[in-house]
Amino acid sequence: MIAKAPFGRTGHTSTRTLFGAAALGRVTQAEADATLDVLLKYGVNHIDVAASYGDAELRIGPWMPAHRKDFFLATKTEKRTYQEALDELQRSLERMRVDYVDLWQMHVLVDPEQWEVAMGPGGALEAFVEARAQGLVRFLGVTGHGLNVARMHMRSLERFDFDAVLLPWNYPLKQNPQYAADFEALVTMCRERNVAVQTIKSLCRRPWGDRPHTRATWYEPLEEQADIDKAVHWVLGRPELFLNTLSDIHLLPKVLDAATRFTQRPTDAEMEALVIEQEMTPLFV
């Protein structure tokens, strides 16, 4: 089974590999139900979805009557104003057939102008606080992509005491000195405040470029089990990090299998060899 760890201050002990439910955005219910079987097989107890992930919330809905108790359930909104955010939360609850979610997150909050709207008067933050007070959500978080995400998350944490953050992290991205420094500063802040740190894009090989998109990921992923092992184990080698799985149900078992066999972090030499062999490049430049 996959190792577990306290998910920040929430009181929940989550599997260190979380299910990134973006993988359900464009699948049938039958495919989604088969994916649930995979999650239960590996003991995954944490689902991370978003209102913007196609039909993913709808696919999760049929699971909840029997399995709500089995999962820490997180969703996200990209709405930046109070009423829009509340309306979308209600839609998410209806789609997933639940009365509350464990974690509600401001999604892709990296644009400074959008940040000012969300955090200002009449912004989404007011909806987040109200929803928590009403018991519609238990905990609050912020997510993002791009090279400025760690800096923006620190800004968000200075503005409000969020319970969780989510951002990209993989070996090629660590080679960007500024991003690596910002990431470490954010992790330090989160450690001091007991904020959960979720990582994404761990399986990124490189941007698709002009190559055909053969997977449901918005980057070209690593495919071979040995390569996936190294990428997964490299992230899990940091005990304070959680790894969100990639958005392709067909590669999901390989990722979860890698997580079950984690014992130690690959060396830099091993990761550098992987980068060269698989021609890995950063997703963000």
What residue ranges define each of the domains in the chain, with the CATH number in brackets?
10-277 (3.20.20.100)
Confidence of residue 48 (pLDDT cuts 50, 70, 90): very high
Q: d(Cα 237, Cα 3) in Å, to the nearest integer?
A: 12
Q: d(Cα 174, Cα 194) in Å, to the nearest integer?
A: 23
Q: What is the pLDDT of residue 1?
A: 87
- Which residues, 6 or more positions from 137, have their beta carbon under 8 angstroms from its beta carbon? 89, 100, 101, 102, 103, 104, 128, 131
Three-state SS at 225:
helix
Backbone angles phi, psi at 6, to 5 degrees: -60, 130
Mean pLDDT along residues 187-205: 98
Q: What is the pLDDT of residue 231?
A: 98
Q: What is the pLDDT of residue 222?
A: 98
* pLDDT tens track for 61-96: 999 999 999 999 999 999 999 999 999 999 999 999
Q: d(Cα 4, Cα 262) in Å, to the nearest integer?
A: 12
**Closest CA relative to residue 228, chosen from 198, 197, 262:** 262
**Closest CA relative to residue 263, chosen from 241, 240, 230:** 230
* pLDDT tens track for 137-164: 999 999 999 999 999 999 999 999 999 9
* pLDDT tens track for 103-138: 999 999 999 999 999 999 999 999 999 999 999 999
Q: What is the pLDDT of residue 59?
A: 98
pLDDT at 179 over 90: yes
Q: CA neighbours within 13 Å on the CB side: how many for 166? A: 27
Q: What is the pLDDT of residue 285?
A: 83
Mean pLDDT along residues 171-187: 98
* pLDDT tens track for 204-220: 999 999 999 999 998 99
Give me the helices (H) in the chain, please.
29-42, 56-60, 64-67, 82-96, 112-119, 124-133, 149-159, 171-174, 177-193, 225-236, 252-260, 268-277
* pLDDT tens track for 220-231: 999 999 999 999
Dig out the tokens for 35 from the structure. 């994916």
pLDDT at 98 over 90: yes
- Which residues, 6 or more positions from 253, have their beta carbon under 8 angstroms from its beta carbon? 38
Cut 0.85: pTM above it: yes
Q: d(Cα 143, Cα 75) in Å, to the nearest integer?
A: 11
